[in-house]
Amino acid sequence: MQTTDMAPLHPDRNIALELVRATEAAAIRAVPFIGRGAKEAADGAAVDGMRAFLSTVDFDGVVVIGEGEKDNAPMLYNGEHVGTGRGRSYDIAVDPIDGTSLTAAGRQNALSVIAMSDRGTMLDASSVFYMDKLVTGPAGVGVVDIRLPIGENIRLLANALGKPVDEMVVSVLNRPRHEKLIQEIREAGAGTRLMSDGDVAGGINAARHDARTDMCVGVGGSPEGIVTACAIKALGGHIQGRLWPRDDEERQKGIDAGLKMDHVYEADDLVAGNNTLFVATGVTDGQLVAGVRRQGDYVYTESVVLRSHSGTMRRISSDHLVSKWL
């Protein structure tokens, strides 16, 4: 049978559903801990659920961004091989719960996330914990730049969107390190949406065509930046990042790992190529997806699948028999 240039990408259509099963499992396993103040227990249960399903998927995955690296977990660590080992080779980024504190407190926007790209295309930025990021939708491509003052970026994007500056909304993690940034956003005439956690959801919400926010900025996790980049490629949006080492020791650690300090990483630097998948299931309710809900004999989940090759965002709603999860 003659193959075409498109043929190698076809399996992604099927593997996406398999990855959804893994994020659903992680989200469902976290349910007993939502709002219970036990973020480590929630994370451990989600890790177990995700890993169990990933082990059944026909692909050869290597964890580039892993749970163990961030949270000292014994599974889904950087360098771990996941899947059956049969099929195509991929880089994998996993976060069984992006927003463990949100989950523990019962607050919005906690997600279970998997991102994937072809082997060797995903930047391993794990040696530097934080990254300064700028994310917008397609209107920001070639318009905004992380090196510019935030007020100028807001004005440039507002012009590209055809919106008054006073209707612009910018998402920022609510942290002491962002006090000056938040002040500058407001002084520019825009509004802020302060996030307690969950900057993956914040970045994706800023890039969606029907978003309530226009831009997501500020310092968040480096691993989350790579994960977000996989989703932004499917949405046709804009993402830039600069590593933000906390001290000289971490800065040197990043340099020793081959990372570039004081460098602006563009989307293709974060994740090369145009064959990325991003899958997320809601743990708690949020703008992107609804959280897990149990009612009677069923557990209900909502997930999204973003695929850069086709430029699609699909929603998957699932009803799960509780008896199958006990």
Tens of pLDDT along 26-54?
999 999 999 999 999 999 999 999 999 99
175 belongs to an annotated ligand binding site: yes
- pLDDT tens digits along 143-201: 999 999 999 999 999 999 999 999 999 999 999 999 999 999 999 999 999 998 888 99
36 belongs to an annotated ligand binding site: no
Q: What DSSP string describes 32-87?
A: GGTTTT-HHHHHHHHHHHHHHHHTTSSSEEEEEE-HHHHH--SSS-TT-EES-S-S
Q: What is the pLDDT of residue 209?
A: 85
The structure's pTM equals 0.90
35 belongs to an annotated ligand binding site: no
5 belongs to an annotated ligand binding site: no
Question: What structural domains does the chain harbor?
Answer: 7-120+275-324 (3.30.540.10), 130-270 (3.40.190.90)
Q: What is the pLDDT of residue 198?
A: 84
Residue 64 CA: distances (Å) to CA of 79, 92, 95, 127, 172 = 6, 6, 11, 11, 26
- The DSSP call for residue 235 is H
Q: How is residue 162 written in tokens?
A: 């055809």
| Overall average pLDDT of the 62-84 stretch | 75
177 belongs to an annotated ligand binding site: yes
Residue 68 has pLDDT above 70, yes or no: no
241 belongs to an annotated ligand binding site: no
| Overall average pLDDT of the 65-82 stretch | 71
221 belongs to an annotated ligand binding site: yes
98 belongs to an annotated ligand binding site: yes
- pLDDT tens digits along 231-282: 999 999 999 999 999 999 999 999 999 999 999 999 999 999 889 999 999 9
79 belongs to an annotated ligand binding site: no
Residue 69 has pLDDT above 50, yes or no: no
Contact present, 121 and 92 (Cβ < 8 Å):
no
100 belongs to an annotated ligand binding site: yes
Q: How far apart are CA 170 and CA 154, in angstroms?
A: 9
- pLDDT tens digits along 293-312: 999 999 999 999 999 988 88
118 belongs to an annotated ligand binding site: no
Q: What is the pLDDT of residue 82?
A: 92
95 belongs to an annotated ligand binding site: yes
Angle at 52 between CA 51 and CA 53, to 5 degrees: 90
199 belongs to an annotated ligand binding site: yes
**CB environment 63-77: b (16+ within 10 A), e (fewer):** bbbbbbbbbebebbb
Residue 72 has pLDDT above 60, yes or no: no
- pLDDT tens digits along 13-26: 678 889 999 999 99
Q: What is the pLDDT of residue 4?
A: 37
- pLDDT tens digits along 122-136: 999 989 999 999 999
145 belongs to an annotated ligand binding site: no
Residue located via tokens 């996989």 = 230
Q: What is the pLDDT of residue 12?
A: 60
176 belongs to an annotated ligand binding site: yes
CA 187 to chain centre: 29
Q: What is the pLDDT of residue 5?
A: 40
| Overall average pLDDT of the 59-66 stretch | 92
Q: How is residue 282 written in tokens?
A: 């809601």
Identify which has the larger pLDDT, 17 or 113: 113
Residue 114 has pLDDT above 50, yes or no: yes
Q: What is the pLDDT of residue 73?
A: 52
Residue 8 has pLDDT above 60, yes or no: no
Q: How is residue 235 written in tokens?
A: 């949405």
Q: What is the pLDDT of residue 3?
A: 36
User: What percentage of residues in the chain have a pLDDT greater than 90?
Assistant: 79
Identify which has the larger pLDDT, 35 or 72: 35
Q: Report the mean per-residue pLDDT for the chain.
A: 91
Residue 78 pLDDT class (50, 70, 90 cuts) = confident
